[in-house]
Structure 1
Amino acid sequence: MTMLRAEWTKLRSATGWLAGLIGAAAVILGLGVLAAFGVTTSCGEQEGADCPHPPTGPSGQAVNDHFSFVHQPLTGDGTITAHVADFTGIITYPPPDHDQIVEGLVPWAKAGLIVKDGTKPGSAYASVLVTGAHGTRMQHNFTEDHSGPAAARWLRLSRSGETIRGYASADAVDWTEIQSVRLPGLPQTVQIGLFVASPSNVTAKAGAHGGSIVQARFTQATAVFDQVSATGSWTYDNVGDEPAMQTDWEQFHQAEGFTTADGRLTVTGTGDIAPAGQEGGPTITFTLAGLIAALLIVIVVAVLFITAEYRRGLIRTTLAAMPHRGRVLTAKAAVIGAAVFVAGLVATAVTLPLAGHVLRARGNFLLPVPTGTLLRIIVGSAVLLALTAVLAYAIGAVLRRGVPAVALAILAVIVPYLLATTSVLPTTAAQWLMRVTPAAAFAVQQALPAYPQVGKPYTPTDGYFPLPPWAGLLVLAAWAAAILAFAVIRTRRADA
């Protein structure tokens, strides 16, 4: 405790070091708010509040909810059974000169049975379905996905109060229950029926100057249902259709809808029922524009916190007063890390809600994130700053020279992040950097999860990282601990 008080006294007594920490916090806040004031969304003559944006799902997340829905009301409990007799589609591919339309289904094309709380986009639902390449599934409320029998084409959906059960069968004799889910608040009367959706054909290719070029092209799927157990009249809705957001090609070539003949219902549709990703709009992490600049300041302060003592010869006095060299180095690391953490926590805790408020007030749409995710980004960003400070300090303790230590710390933390997120490197190389270098800690800022049931490339350029958030921080922590341990060993063996 005496060592910690002594090192804290040194830190707060040095005006430049304390000013640096305050400056780092001010940079995060200032650049975040400045970035927010610099963005205004408009659609023609309408301000951002009137611009189309993804609907919100039952859990508050942004979702895609666009599909062909052939339905009828169901009051109370009930069951619907149907056979998917045929499932075909068209896919748009990108040849060199023009788009080429070929027959086929994208892997996550969907056709099946669905229970939904009305036809409003984003409303609660549960579905059992067949896919283009992922077998039979049970999906509900956009984010949840559970696999069923791969070859089954007979589907059944049963409602009992708020509980929905999905079944699949290959022969309509032996049925497998895929999953039982609960939809809280499901009303007495819901819409039940058949649906078809076909997500965009997302392609990614290496860019001429590094990175990847991602494109999404129109697709369409058609399913033929027979042996449908439900009787009565059907209503067709193209849920979530927004012609204003369609390309001319989509408006004049697609043929969404349904027909019925001889007990067979043919449904054609496009779109998807799934969580929205970064394509739906910016996330709150956009407001952390000043973090890189703050990291530069923190690195310099942390390095000087140790190298200044070596440069001025004061380290001899410190070690004479406190002869346990290892404890001295770890105490200094703890103090600089804790000080940076507090400064970073205050800065991020103020910046994210304040800048987010400014963005929304200026008519901008931000993809919603759960409160837990927001807290993780706030606290995690502060931990990222603190661990970077300890890493830079440890490098300074090893090299004992300021300029090389600052350069090496920047090379270890900031450079890999910039290379991975600015389309300089191929995706594979970018993901490798974000796994093994200290820059892996930036994963703590990922605002949206990656979903396996959404067919899109999840790359660092788009804000998706290969490691879970806290695992990324552990990579940085391991680097900092290893270099600090090496610094302790060197200090014990070498003269100050």
Structure 2
Amino acid sequence: MTRALHAEWTKFRTVRGWMLGAVGAALASVLFLLVGTVSSNEHPGDVSALPVGPGGEAVNDSFSFVHRTLTGDGSLTVPVTALTGVLSDPDGAPDSTTRGLTPWSKAGIIVKRNLTQGSPYAAVMATGAHGVRMQHDFVHDRATDLTGVPSAVAPQWLRLVRDGKTVTGYHSADGVHWTEIASVAVPGDAVQAGLFVTAPAAVQTAGAGSSPATATAAFGQPVLTGAWRDDWAYTQVGGGAGTSGSYVPGTTGGHRASGDGFTVTGAGDIAPVVGGPALGPAFTVETFLIGTFIGLIVVGVVAVQFSTSEYRRGLLGLTLAATPRRGRVLGAKALVVAGVAFTVGAAAAAVSLPLGRARARAAHFAVLTVPTEEQLRAVLGTGLLLAATAVLALSLGVLLRRSATAITALVAVTVLPYLLALGGMLPAGPAGWLLRLTPAAGFAVQQTLPRHDHVLSVYTPATGYFPLPPWGGLAVLGAWALLAPAAASLVLRRRDA
């Protein structure tokens, strides 16, 4: 096998067109990024950097907060006696509104390390349509059995207890019988704790847009135990509603005393940033890897020619005379094109990410931050994506023998489904199936856009979401890249060279 591999690599590197094609694939990927993204005059206004959560992910962290400082162990207990909202009417006149709550409108109590956006926290909350929840550090969400929207006749009681760095959440329907939800860690000595309200924008699934929302909650008298200091203070964390919407025209965040309790109004969200309508003017890792499909086509063309050229020039007989085991010849060719394609893909991706970030910031666009391990997976995954596609292309060349026919078949099963699904030219259902069954599923390995059940958005291929997880999508492509060489090996053994 070593001898066959050396022979095939020698063939590849000594043909100038193939080597130039490999280099051209990397350059094409990067150049497409440069011409396919915005220029600095398309978005002249400055966009603030997105807050970053404890895990390195981009987050929304904007809410109305009535708070005090908790310096040690202690607890906060409060009933939520009402949760109402106002929505901008997308079908009405300008500035028209309607009463209602977005499903993830939130009103509750929170212990937060400090008032800096993105700092660790633990919160127990009533929601517009998902009952009482406990959430912490943006990406973690736990449901409870207490459902419905709180009201004066059916308040929802919430409690947070801090013991050292551990914060435990509880809920109750009557303020007497309590159920523990979970315990989580919130670092820090003196933390901020109190009442909060926020309301993400209403997502219009049909038009893939969103409209502002505002929520108002009534809280009964807060009961405190432990080491508290300072008086109650109000802060609009984030200075507005952040990237998850805005206040309904005519409404603002604020609070007022209401008997022994408070009435608090807010908008925004405390949650990870996802794609879709809520993303706004921000670039993602996927944006920076947009040139991959151009590089994939070039690599595919090179791989096809690497297999068909010997048919065209009548040299396959000489190759098989030197290495009679035909499966070994095909395996050596596959290893060569896979290695070249992986290098091209990973190198182009590694260059595209910092280049794309620099370009986005120069154009005054925010960049959606993702953890380093997610970026590394996208870079290496791009290499694997091109490697598997190159093996598929090589196999198609052996099966079909003609370069034009094999290249057309490759584009039909990889690039075309990708463009149809993510370009919004198909309904979500058929687009999803294309990205489950065709080799285009492999592009999922580049996806870093998060998907969370506690963040409402439009999770469809047209908004950048693949139906399969990253490695699952690559596994579909890998299956194609295994079956195609198996078929090609069978045909190569049975067919006259």
**Which residue number in structure 2 is paired with residue 411 of structure 1?**
412
For 1:285-434, list aligned pairs within 5 A.
285-360=286-361, 363-434=364-435
- State the match for 1:224 in structure 2: 218
The alignment partner of 2:30 has SS state of helix
CA offset digits 1:217-257 (Å, max 9, x no partner): 1122222222421398422222223499999x947411432
More displaced stretch, 28-37 vs 446-455: 28-37
Q: CA deviation at 1:358?
A: 4.9
- Matched residue, 1:134: 130
Q: 2:236 is aligned with what amino acid?
A: N
CA gap of 1:91–1:19, structure 2 versus 1, over 3 A, is same
- Following TM superposition, by how much is the alpha carbon of 1:344 offset from its aligned partner in structure 2, in angstroms? 2.3
Contact 2:343–2:383, Cα closer than 8 Å, also in 1 = yes
Q: Corresponding residue for 1:209?
A: none
Contact 2:61 2:118 in 1 (8 A): yes
CA distance in 2, matches of 1:85, 1:451: 28
- Indicate yes or no: 2:483 matched with 1:482: yes
Partner in structure 1 of residue 268 of structure 2:
271
**Offset, 1:62:** 2.0
1:324 offset after TM fit, Å? 1.8
The answer to whether residue 47 in structure 2 is matched with residue 61 in structure 1 is: no
Task: Give the match's secondary structure for 1:389.
Answer: helix
Q: Which runs of no fewer than 5 residues in structure 1 stay unpaired?
A: 206-212
Is the 8 Å Cα contact of residues 35 and 287 (structure 1) preserved in structure 2? no
CA pair 253-361 structure 1, distance change in 2 beyond 3 A: closer
Q: Contact 1:17/1:301 (CA < 8 Å) preserved in 2?
A: yes
Structure 2 unaligned spans of 5+: 148-154
Indicate the residue corresponding to 1:257 in structure 2. 254
CA 1:139–1:383: 2 relative to 1, 3 Å: same
Tell me the CA shift for residue 434 of structure 1: 1.4
1:478 positional shift: 0.5
Is 2:49–2:367's contact at 8 Å kept on the other side of the alignment?
A: no
Moved more, 401-410 or 61-70: 61-70
Report how many aligned residue pairs link the two structures: 481
* Structure 1 partner of 2:150: none
2:24 corresponds to 1:23: yes
Which residue of structure 2 lines up, in the alignment, with residue 210 of structure 1?
none
Q: Which residue of 1 aligns with 2:74?
A: 78
> In the TM superposition, what whole-angstrom CA distance separates every residue of 1:375-414 from its partner, at most 9, and x where no partner exists?
1111111111111111111111111111110001011111
How far does residue 38 in structure 1 lie from its aligned partner after superposition? 3.6
Q: Of 115, 118, 124, which residue of structure 1 is paired with 2:120?
A: 124
Q: 2:214 touches 2:247 (CA, 8 Å); kept in 1?
A: no
C-alpha separation in 2, matches of 1:290 and 1:103 = 45
Q: How does 1:71-220 map to 2 (within 5 A)?
A: 71-95=67-91, 101-151=97-147, 153-184=156-187, 186=188, 188-205=189-206, 213-220=207-214
TM-score normalized by structure 1?
0.90
Q: Distance in 1 between matches of 2:259 and 2:294?
A: 68
Overall identity of the aligned pairs, in %: 46
In structure 2, the residue corresponding to 1:253 is in which secondary structure? coil
Q: Secondary structure at the match of 2:307?
A: helix
* Whole-angstrom CA distance in 1 between matches of 2:430 and 2:368: 28
**CA contact 1:20–1:301 (8 Å) conserved in 2:** yes
Paired letter, 1:235? A
Tell me the alpha carbon deviations over residues 277-325 of structure 1, each in whole angstroms, 9 at most, x when there is no partner. 3415102333334322211211111111111111222112222322222
1:290 counterpart letter in structure 2: G
CA distance in 1, matches of 2:9, 2:34: 31
